[in-house]
Structure 1
Amino acid sequence: MAGWESLRGDLLRLGEESPGALVVWPNPHTERRSERRFRIVLAAWATEIAGTLKAKYGDVVDLQVGAMTFPGGELVASKSALQLPGVPADAAGLDVEAVRPLSVRSGRYAHEELKVTNRADHTQMLMTSRDLLSTVTDRAGNVVGRYAGPRNAGRRGLPIEPQQSRPVSVLIGTASVVLELGYAVPPGEWKLVVLLQTEERFVLSGPLEITVTP
């Protein structure tokens, strides 16, 4: 069974030949002679790469593709952790609109701009890191996809005056959380629900149209 010296070479090659495939991986520039198992997280589109690594390294690698283990297809997070809590945006006096048609490639992620409008009679403060979080849902509102990867932990407040709007970035991910769909949300027309946090509560946008492309 191939070990670290071989794996580190493959990781360096993947970084050059398949940008974005590696999400979390051991630093190939370090010595790891004492380790016997290496955790690697791959993007949701990188199932072929995962298959190649598993065939070559077997139990030496602990693989995750998107939001699920590979090849087992088990969710890394619990189902409850994938639900977005919050009150409807209209009940909180907030409107969320897409600035342009939303689109993202299957198994990939994207940053898109939304317009958030404050319909309340008082200033509202959006608490956010770089981006708002979101989930992809089916037409019935069931969560089918999300972003799976590291996120900016810092937070800042974005004030929105009454009857005013401001642009806000949203992070859209298409790592599947439904085993029957595979590791990536397949191409098609889906819905996007955005999670906002004010100083008082969590708020959920109404479903926005989103196209997942091949």
Structure 2
Amino acid sequence: MTVWDELKVVLVRLSEEQPRVLLGYPMPEVDKGRVPPFRIDLAPWAVTTAEELHRQFGDDVELRVGALPYPPGPEPRPQPVTTPLPDLLDSREITVELDGPAVVRSGHTLRHSLLVRNLSGRELQIATNGQVTAAVVDPQTGEVVGGFSGWQTAPLVIFRVAAGATEPIPLLIDTASYTPQLGYVVPAGEWGIQATLTLGPHPRDSPSRRTPILPLTITA
């Protein structure tokens, strides 16, 4: 029996018993061209599953738990920032707030809403893929420490906010850690979130602006 023959049985079992554990994996229905190592992406909270897969398959699987490799690798060298961050929204024209408190379990995902108020004298158009994805930040420094990890579909969905109006926009908040020192999930505590809005109908040609840091409570 090959590694793939053993692994696909495990993947089928996991997909049936714990469907939210697997975020990305080779389809068990396809046998052609299956040569290790096999890339498997797991939910940020699925460290136990990663331990079991690594124990059984070793280097024949390439595991990621949330945004980080498993087992933990050497600390990556800091990369120079080559793209400047977008400017903050001009609060004289656009303000944002959360549609109620944002509270989520560590390692899990919250689907929330961002209330966008248009204070300008013209219609506001915001280009999205159907939602805006938040980054989790240190509220004191603004450093990005976590957020969403994985694939998203990319349809073009335009949200329109009339002059003087307020409209909700779907907001995706995920708590996978980007920082090895924190582990695989952003731990419980009082954090912040920040999202980037594309202000126009054409994502490539429209300006981007960051929201102010908004409050996020992560629970154990």
TM-score norm. by structure 1 comes to 0.91
Q: Which residue in 1 is equivalent to 2:209?
A: 203
Instruction: For 2:167 and 2:66, locate their aligned partners in 1 and report how far apart those are by CA, in whole Å.
Output: 31
CA positional deviation for 1:205: 0.8
Unaligned regions of 5+ residues in structure 2, if any?
201-205
Q: Which residue in 1 is equivalent to 2:57?
A: 57
TM-score norm. by structure 2 comes to 0.88
Q: Which residue in 1 is equivalent to 2:69?
A: 69
Deviations 1:160-191 (A, max 9, x none): 11111111101111110111100110111100
Q: Which residue in 2 is equivalent to 1:170?
A: 171
Instruction: For 1:79 and 1:113, locate their aligned partners in 2 and report how far apart those are by CA, in whole Å.
Output: 32
Instruction: For 2:50 and 2:56, locate their aligned partners in 1 and report how far apart those are by CA, in whole Å.
Output: 10
Question: Counterpart of 2:90 in 1: which secondary structure?
Answer: helix
Q: Which residue in 2 is equivalent to 1:153?
A: 154
Is the contact between residue 132 and residue 171 of structure 2 (CA under 8 Å) also seen in structure 1?
Answer: yes
How do residues 80-159 of structure 1 correspond to structure 2 at under 5 angstroms? 85-91=85-91, 93-139=93-139, 140-159=141-160
CA positional deviation for 1:84: 8.4
CA positional deviation for 1:90: 2.8
Structure 1 residues 161, 86: closer, same or farther in 2, change over 3 A?
Answer: same
Deviations 1:116-135 (A, max 9, x none): 11111221110011110210
Deviations 1:52-103 (A, max 9, x none): 1011001110111111111134699x8678x883221235721111111101
Question: Counterpart of 1:20 in 2: which secondary structure?
Answer: coil
Structure 1 residues 80, 113: closer, same or farther in 2, change over 3 A?
Answer: farther
How do residues 10-89 of structure 1 correspond to structure 2 at under 5 angstroms? 10-32=10-32, 34-73=34-73, 85-89=85-89
Structure 1 residues 39, 67: closer, same or farther in 2, change over 3 A?
Answer: same
Task: Note the aligned Cα RMSD (angstroms).
Answer: 2.3
Instruction: For 1:72 and 1:122, locate their aligned partners in 2 and report how far apart those are by CA, in whole Å.
Output: 50
The letter of the residue matching 2:106 is: S
Query: For this pair of structures, how many residues does the alignment match?
Result: 212
The letter of the residue matching 2:148 is: Y
Structure 1 residues 60, 159: closer, same or farther in 2, change over 3 A?
Answer: same
Instruction: For 1:204 and 1:51, locate their aligned partners in 2 and report how far apart those are by CA, in whole Å.
Output: 38
